[in-house]
């Protein structure tokens, strides 16, 4: 009996592409390490350079019955998300970890709040579980106007916004 013997295949593993999105076991994703995240977190383009002379607007976010207050001025950005101390100590401006953010599908860099012409806008930052305003899912990187008393959802975490 003659057996064909083939030489073993020479298989090489390719290194990962540096800008690919990595799937995470908790149904979230880690954004690529490039300029996209930095651009999403910076100030809003096209706003006046005189914005820093305006008085800050006090905003109250009510999450699961607890109120968090932040102050924003025109052109300033507040990042909403959850902390991740494994990946270099990422810390958003408004850390929602204490409110069960991970269990409710909030991404590390989920959304940003910013003021433009005295009005508050929320922008989804390509979050894994999305952002909803008045029950409708919003498009990533498109600012949506928030009104006094509006409720929006980051994943399954409801947040009510009021102005003081």
Higher-pLDDT residue of 161 and 52 is 161
Helix residue spans in 22-94 (DSSP H)? 35-41
Dist CA 124 CA 141 (whole Å): 6
Sign of CA dihedral 79, 109, 98, 65: positive
Helix (H) or strand (E) holding 8, with range, is: none
Task: Please compute Rg for the chain using Cα positions.
Answer: 21
Among 2-11, 99-108, 124-133, 150-159, the least confident range: 2-11
Predicted TM-score of the model (pTM) = 0.67
Q: What is the pLDDT of residue 78?
A: 92
Residue 128, SS3 per DSSP: coil
61-85 per-position pLDDT tens digit: 999 889 989 988 888 899 999 988 7
Evaluated on CA atoms 43, 26, 90, 79, the torsion sign reads positive
Query: Count of alpha carbons within 13 Å of 139, Cβ hemisphere only?
Result: 3
Mean pLDDT of all residues belonging to the chain: 77
Dist. CA 82–CA 45, nearest whole Å: 25
Q: Percent of the chain at pLDDT above 90? A: 45
Query: Where are the domains positioned within the chain?
Result: 22-163
Fold of 22-163: Tumour Suppressor Smad4 (2.60.200)
DSSP 81-123: E--BSSSS-B--SEE-GGGTTTTTT--TT-EEEEEETTEEEEE
How confident is the model at residue 130, as a pLDDT?
95
């Amino acid at each position: 009996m003659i057996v064909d013997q083939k030489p073993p295949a020479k298989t090489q593993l390719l290194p990962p592409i540096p800008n690919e999105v990595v799937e995470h076991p908790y149904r979230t994703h880690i954004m690529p390490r490039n300029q996209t995240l930095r651009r999403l977190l910076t100030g809003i383009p096209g706003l006046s350079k005189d914005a820093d002379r305006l008085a800050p607007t006090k905003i109250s976010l009510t999450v699961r019955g607890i109120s968090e207050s932040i102050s924003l001025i025109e052109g300033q950005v507040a990042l909403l998300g959850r902390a991740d101390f494994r990946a270099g100590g990422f810390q958003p401006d408004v850390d929602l970890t204490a409110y069960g953010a991970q269990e409710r599908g909030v991404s590390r860099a989920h959304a940003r709040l910013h003021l433009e012409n005295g009005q508050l806008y929320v922008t989804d930052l390509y979050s894994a579980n999305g952002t909803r305003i008045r029950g409708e899912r919003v498009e990533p990187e498109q600012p949506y106007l928030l009104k006094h008393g509006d409720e929006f959802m980051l994943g399954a975490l409801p947040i009510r916004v009021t102005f003081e």
